[in-house]
Structure 1
Amino acid sequence: MKIDIVYCLGCFYVSGLLFIEVYGQIGAYFDLRYWRCVLKKEYDCPDDDIQYYLYTPHSGRRRLRIDIRNPLSLKLSGFNADKRNVFIIHGFNGTESKTPMTILRDAYLFRADHNIFTINWGDLTNFPCYLSSLSNTRLVAQCTAKLYAFVMANGGKAEKTTCVGHSLGAHICGMVSNHLTVKQHTIIGLDPARPLIDRYSNKHFRLTKDDAYHVQIIHTNAGFLGEVDQLGHVDFCVNGGTTQPGCKGNALRVSRCSHFQSACFFAKSLKYPTSIIGKPCTQSCPKKGRNWGLLPGKSIPMGLEAPYGAFGTYCVHTETKKGCPFE
């Protein structure tokens, strides 16, 4: 069995038949910190490297830290049990205070009908530490599940709660269900991450349609940074699913831009609920060429207005030439 390992400023890249056990035995007893990377080996929540914040229509962009050890934390932060809830989880090399997460936050604030919870795990997912980030998703999912349970125990309703994750954050949304006794109601995966996930992760460590009663996927860089084909109950393949209008530069910049566009398109659908419409099409995503395999059937809106119970792949064509249609 051949294993090639290349060290890269504190990250490991493994090729061949065996992937270094991201979920295995490296640093079995202590957190491993090297360069800017952190590999968590202690699984206790809450964890100082993972922060929970709440934004409400009254607080605006002023974030309020939530402490799940304090039963009054939600009440004192302006939580309204009558509103819907959203948990927003960023991806690799992100934070809750950077785009595209701030674009999502602001779109929900515009709606003014949600308690907006953001999970910040930026200290556990610095560039170029992709493998340690993959391992750390387990702890982030566990701690997010603790927050979810805390909100439900203090008046939140599962049927009014959605988990929205971008890239690795999408898979974390799915992994949250590993720690819950009641299945989540809705998950929206924004271009779920593909690198290594597609080859080495089983269903317990990636987002699948089994993780919630309604799982929606928005594909914008399928086959490169994002996963391919149908993952959820309903998948939207946007502009062919691979390269988005307005994304310019070298191949990596175009992929990264297209990957982020999933959050931008979803944010637009939050502010303008029926502005992005999908037509039924064949299951493959990305699409090759101009033939998207459109099928007969009813078109549906992408985003929160997608009908509960919808199933299949829907193709979306947008007219925008901007880098982000929401800005």
Structure 2
Amino acid sequence: MVGRFDLVGLTIFVSCFLKYGICEEVCYGDLGCFSNDPPHDNVRFLPESPEEIGTVFLLYTRLNPYEGHNINRKDPESIIGSHFDPSRRTVFVIHGWNPSDKVQWMVDMKDEFLQYDDMNVIFVNWKDGATGLYFQCVANTEVVGAEIHALLDTLTMYMGLDVKDVYLVGHSLGAQVAGYAGERNPAIGRITGLDPGALAFEDEDPAVRLESTDAQFVDVIHTAAGNSITNIGIGIKGVSGHVDFYPNGGSEQPGCPLPIAGDVCDHKRATEYFVESINQCPFTSYPCELGQWDGCDTCGDIGCSYMGFHAEESDARGVFYLETESQSPYCQG
């Protein structure tokens, strides 16, 4: 009996250490161990457990466009019995901090993807781990990235998935989740970061943020990268991919409220631009120097690119600028 109470006391003691970020490492089975030692000291918290984060993967295809199949790496039959087809492109769509019950942009994006082609579209729902104290959610992104990586291993083992056909699209903290997944397997074909979250990531070590080494092709859309009043943005300002797009200069998007009050609108606009890019318009973008937006309206020697889904169709690399309309349809060409 004494031993039992000693064990309970130890569990409470360890839990308190975890809760307040005092521990240096925690391990979660096949996902491995997570530390807040440098360079992972961008946040003092350690990630919560997979059970607390509660990540759910929902698969949609043209055979089930409205009701997602819940697929689970620990239950291979849930994958084998689904409509997953390794011959199709596999797209993971990842939300960010404090999502609503139904993230409409994810639904809109899934519908546009399935209109464009028959894909495996997988929603990464980590709502429980993405709600609440921001810095705890930042810590949780690493576990969600590890869960995506583990699911990819299962899909490879049981379904013959080739990771070069995998595409991760993440908004805000979801973009940083994608970066963690790619850090574990940089053979992933593509990652698109939709205004990646800045707080606790801006100017941090590439090991703890989305970066060009996280996939074979990484493109980033910056829409809330610092307003004219505070110069502080919800979205990351620095170059993060092989191609970085700064529509309207990367902040204060047309049609959004004035700075500060409009930052959330600016931040969300990245998802709207991307959804529109899939089937409606290529968003032709022009090579530019970061922050030097005047006169960036020709393709020059570098060549133009296309902001959004069709970015991979251009060989041009670097920083790109374009202007948009103030309301949908946003694309000018």
Q: Same fold (TM over 0.5)?
A: yes
Distance 2:148 2:100 in 1: 15
| Conserved 8 A contact 2:306-2:314 | no
| Higher Rg of the two aligned structures | 2
Distance 1:244 1:42 in 2: 35
SS at match of 2:59: strand
| Conserved 8 A contact 1:209-1:232 | yes
- How far the C-alpha of 1:210 sits from its partner, in A, is 1.0
Structure number with the higher helix fraction is: 2
- How far the C-alpha of 1:108 sits from its partner, in A, is 1.4
Partner of 2:216: 213
SS at match of 2:67: coil
Partner of 2:304: 299
| Conserved 8 A contact 1:270-1:304 | yes
Q: TM-score, normalised by structure 1?
A: 0.79
Amino acid at match of 2:277: S
Amino acid at match of 1:133: C
Distance 2:329 2:128 in 1: 26
Distance 2:123 2:20 in 1: 25
Q: TM-score, normalised by structure 2?
A: 0.77
- How far the C-alpha of 1:99 sits from its partner, in A, is 3.0
Query: Given the superposition, is the C-alpha separation of residues 315 and 48 from structure 1 closer, same or farther in structure 2, using an over 3 Å criterion?
Result: closer
**For 2:241, which of 232, 239, 246 is the aligned residue?**
232
Q: Unmatched 5+ residue regions in structure 2?
A: 1-17, 29-44, 227-232
Partner of 2:318: 312
**For 2:61, which of 49, 53, 56 is the aligned residue?**
56
Q: Unmatched 5+ residue regions in structure 1?
A: 1-20, 32-38
SS at match of 2:176: helix
Partner of 2:134: 130
Amino acid at match of 2:149: A
Distance 1:30 1:184 in 2: 25
**For 1:85, which of 84, 90, 105 is the aligned residue?**
90
Correspondence 1:138-149 to 2 at 5 A: 138-149=142-153
1:136-155 C-alpha deviation (Å, 9 max, x unpaired): 11111111111122223312
Correspondence 1:279-298 to 2 at 5 A: 279-284=286-291, 290=294, 292=296, 296-297=300-301, 298=303
Tell me, yes or no, if structure 1 residue 254 matches structure 2 residue 258: no
Amino acid at match of 1:242: S
Partner of 1:67: 72
Query: Given the superposition, is the C-alpha separation of residues 92 and 323 from structure 1 closer, same or farther in structure 2, using an over 3 Å criterion?
Result: farther
| Conserved 8 A contact 1:246-1:322 | yes
**For 1:198, which of 202, 213, 217 is the aligned residue?**
202
Query: Given the superposition, is the C-alpha separation of residues 95 and 40 from structure 1 closer, same or farther in structure 2, using an over 3 Å criterion?
Result: farther
| Conserved 8 A contact 1:83-1:115 | yes
Amino acid at match of 2:323: H
Distance 1:292 1:254 in 2: 25
Q: What is the aligned-residue RMSD (CA, Å)?
A: 3.0
| Conserved 8 A contact 1:30-1:40 | no
Query: Given the superposition, is the C-alpha separation of residues 75 and 131 from structure 1 closer, same or farther in structure 2, using an over 3 Å criterion?
Result: same
Distance 1:174 1:95 in 2: 23
**For 1:266, which of 274, 277, 289 is the aligned residue?**
274
1:3-22 C-alpha deviation (Å, 9 max, x unpaired): xxxxxxxxxxxxxxxxxx99
Query: Given the superposition, is the C-alpha separation of residues 294 and 229 from structure 1 closer, same or farther in structure 2, using an over 3 Å criterion?
Result: farther
SS at match of 2:121: strand
Distance 1:166 1:22 in 2: 26
| Conserved 8 A contact 2:192-2:218 | yes
| Conserved 8 A contact 2:252-2:262 | yes
Q: How many residues align?
A: 289
Distance 1:316 1:134 in 2: 30
**For 1:188, which of 192, 197, 222 is the aligned residue?**
192
Tell me, yes or no, if structure 1 residue 276 matches structure 2 residue 280: no
- How far the C-alpha of 1:40 sits from its partner, in A, is 6.5
Amino acid at match of 1:244: Q
SS at match of 2:189: strand
Amino acid at match of 2:223: T
Distance 1:83 1:246 in 2: 37
- How far the C-alpha of 1:105 sits from its partner, in A, is 1.9
Amino acid at match of 2:198: R
Query: Given the superposition, is the C-alpha separation of residues 187 and 305 from structure 1 closer, same or farther in structure 2, using an over 3 Å criterion?
Result: same
| Conserved 8 A contact 1:282-1:293 | no
| Conserved 8 A contact 1:49-1:123 | yes
Amino acid at match of 1:86: V
Structure number with the higher strand fraction is: 1
Distance 2:214 2:27 in 1: 30
Amino acid at match of 2:222: H
1:27-53 C-alpha deviation (Å, 9 max, x unpaired): 97799xxxxxxx76565x677611111
SS at match of 1:150: helix
Of all paired residues, the percent bearing the same amino acid is 28
Query: Given the superposition, is the C-alpha separation of residues 234 and 295 from structure 1 closer, same or farther in structure 2, using an over 3 Å criterion?
Result: same
1:274-311 C-alpha deviation (Å, 9 max, x unpaired): 53111111133xx66x5558672322222332236431
Distance 1:143 1:276 in 2: 33
Distance 2:176 2:19 in 1: 15
